[in-house]
């Protein structure tokens, strides 16, 4: 996969893309990153990328020309049709399902804006996706694009050492993930659940499924509305709900 970030602050990405899983993904040649300062594509003598909004109002608006030209150049260099993603608080809220969808692509271009907003012609004629990482406003789109890229890259084949990790992650199964424990079996008087020490894998798997349901019921009940429960899971959930009321 190839990922391009269009940004006015390419230095913001250095620590992120050269650390942890993103660094390892590049070493394994699963992904390549490029940070492009779209100010370099400005054609006016001051190299400005923003202007006052028509009709008046507070703030400055990113102009279409530098961004259109930058995207055109990147698309022209691509062997496939890239997804052009606009990081925007008005966009679709980012989910694990969206990460899984984007992980199937070969080329992603993120547009990271600043100032008051984008010229609407960018949104209407250039992008394929608008994404928001939450109902709040950041200074720019850089941090949001890093979040999305990290979530996507870890799903690429061969990136994670344990292939089951991404399958069992919270939201990947439709439920929140079960609790985890490691050594020692007792720490400051706090003990690991006996079932995890039993060696009975069937009982452990059942415990984990129940805990996943319990945690989802307690913290994100809304996820259960679209989760396809099995008959056994319905029974467990009924028991959990009864215990919750008691």
- Indicate the pLDDT class of residue 246, thresholds 50, 70 and 90: low
Q: Are residues 30 and 66 in the same domain?
A: yes
Q: Can 10 be counted among the known catalytic residues?
A: no
Q: Can 130 be counted among the known catalytic residues?
A: no
pTM of the model: 0.87
Please state, in angstroms and rounded to a whole number, the distance separating the CA atoms of residues 30 and 78. Answer: 16
Report H helices in 111-141: 120-125
Binding site feature residues for S-adenosyl-L-methionine = 113, 133-138
Q: What is the pLDDT of residue 145?
A: 98
Binding site feature residues = 113, 133-138
| 93 touches 132 (CB < 8 A) | yes
Q: Does the pLDDT of residue 117 top 60, yes or no? A: yes
Q: Are residues 129 and 210 in the same domain?
A: no
Q: Are residues 137 and 189 in the same domain?
A: no
Provide the sign of the torsion angle of the four alpha carbons 24, 30, 32, 33, taken in this order: negative
Q: What is the pLDDT of residue 170?
A: 55
In the chain, DSSP assigns E strands to 2-7, 32-37, 50-51, 61-62, 83-93, 107-111, 117-118, 129-132, 186-187, 190-191
Q: Does the pLDDT of residue 245 top 90, yes or no? A: no
Q: Can 116 be counted among the known catalytic residues?
A: yes
CATH number of the domain encompassing residue 184:
1.10.1270.20
Residue-range definition of the domain harbouring residue 88:
2-153
Residue 85: inside a domain:
yes
pLDDT digits (tens, 9 = 90+) for 133-170: 999 999 999 999 999 999 999 999 999 976 655 555 65
- Counting the structural domains of the chain, the total is 2
Q: What is the pLDDT of residue 75?
A: 97
């Amino acid at each position: 996969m190839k990922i391009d970030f269009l940004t006015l602050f390419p230095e913001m990405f250095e620590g992120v893309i050269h650390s942890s899983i993103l660094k390892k993904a590049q070493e394994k040649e699963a992904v390549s990153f490029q940070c492009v300062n779209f100010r370099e594509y400005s054609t006016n003598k001051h190299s400005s990328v923003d202007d006052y909004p028509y009709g008046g109002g507070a703030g400055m608006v990113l102009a279409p020309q530098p961004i259109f030209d930058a995207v055109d150049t990147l698309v022209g260099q691509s062997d496939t049709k890239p997804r052009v993603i606009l990081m925007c608080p008005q966009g679709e809220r980012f989910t694990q399902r969206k990460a899984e969808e984007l992980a199937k692509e070969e080329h992603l271009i993120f547009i990271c804006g600043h100032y008051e907003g984008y010229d609407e012609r960018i949104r209407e004629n250039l992008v394929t996706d608008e994404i928001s990482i939450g109902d709040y406003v950041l200074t720019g789109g850089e941090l949001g694009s890093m979040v999305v890229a990290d979530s996507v890259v870890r799903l690429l084949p061969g990136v994670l050492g344990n292939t089951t990790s991404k399958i069992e992650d919270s939201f990947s199964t439709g439920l929140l993930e079960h609790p985890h424990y490691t050594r020692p079996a007792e720490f400051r008087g706090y003990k690991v659940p006996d079932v995890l020490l039993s060696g009975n894998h069937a009982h452990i798997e059942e415990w984990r499924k129940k805990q996943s349901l319990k945690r989802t019921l307690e913290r994100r009940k809304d996820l259960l509305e679209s989760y396809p429960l099995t008959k056994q899971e319905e029974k467990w959930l009924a028991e959990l709900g009864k215990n919750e009321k008691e």
